[in-house]
Amino acid sequence: MTTLRTFAALAEQLRGDTNDSVRIVGIDGCGGAGKTTFAARLAAHGDEWPVIHTDDFASHDEPVEWWPRMLRDVIEPLSNNNAATFHPYDWVRREFGTATTIEPADVVILEGVGATRRAWRDRLAMRIWIDAPRDVRLARGIARDGEELREFWHGWMADEDRYVAGEDPRSAADLVVDGDPTTPHGEDVFVVVSERQPGAAPRAAPR
């Protein structure tokens, strides 16, 4: 049974849990599920919390196995209250661009495919999974990127499938959100599919 929650309430929950350390929130899900939109709305309700995109680390050559760079350049420094500096990938020019620095904040949002992967899952203050049907995600991707990238999208989704099968990020999520809800709601509200009770341990992901 689904329930409605507001971004304001979620931001207040995360804000109330803050201490002297940076709290990293991972928003995961497959391409086209609605992660970027969710992250932007949550950040706006959290005093414009910084958002880091896994798409800035993925590339045509490394669609999934980019994660050691994110662990080194983002997760480890922020976990130690230090600034994160990285070179975002330019998907048009197919090269890594100039350095971007994210200063420590109460909350930093990490969004994109692989945002809650096992390599740093235990360092996240909250793990969120955005769910949406495969056909919906593909249609959104084609609508955004153009019909000429349909073959690319099929290859991308196959890489996503391997990540999901290997790490089962949905089962590790503290919050599962419906990325294609039929329940009417405004932009300040989202639909919760399931939510882990405080103190409950996530089910171990397969290895």
Q: Is residue 64 part of a domain?
A: no
Q: Is residue 115 part of a domain?
A: yes
Range of the domain at 169: 3-54+108-194
Question: In this structure, which amino acid lies at residue 83?
Answer: A
Q: Is residue 98 part of a domain?
A: no
- Nearest Cα neighbor of 109 from 187, 181, 36 is 36
Q: Is residue 125 part of a domain?
A: yes
Q: Is residue 96 part of a domain?
A: no
Query: What is the C-alpha separation between 171 and 49, in angstroms, rounded?
Result: 26
Can you tell me whether residue 52 is helix, strand or coil? Answer: strand
What's the structural domain count of the chain? 1
Q: What is the CATH number of the domain that holds 145?
A: 3.40.50.300
Q: Is residue 202 part of a domain?
A: no
Per-residue pLDDT of the chain (207 residues; tens, 9 = 90+): 689 999 999 999 998 766 678 999 999 999 999 999 999 999 999 988 999 999 999 888 888 889 999 999 999 999 999 999 999 999 888 899 999 999 999 999 999 999 999 999 999 999 999 999 999 999 999 999 899 999 989 988 999 999 999 999 999 999 999 999 987 778 899 999 999 865 455 444 433
Query: What is the C-alpha separation between 123 and 131, in angstroms, rounded?
Result: 22
Q: Is residue 15 part of a domain?
A: yes
pTM of the predicted structure, to 2 decimals: 0.91
Q: Is residue 151 part of a domain?
A: yes
- Nearest Cα neighbor of 171 from 123, 118, 133 is 118
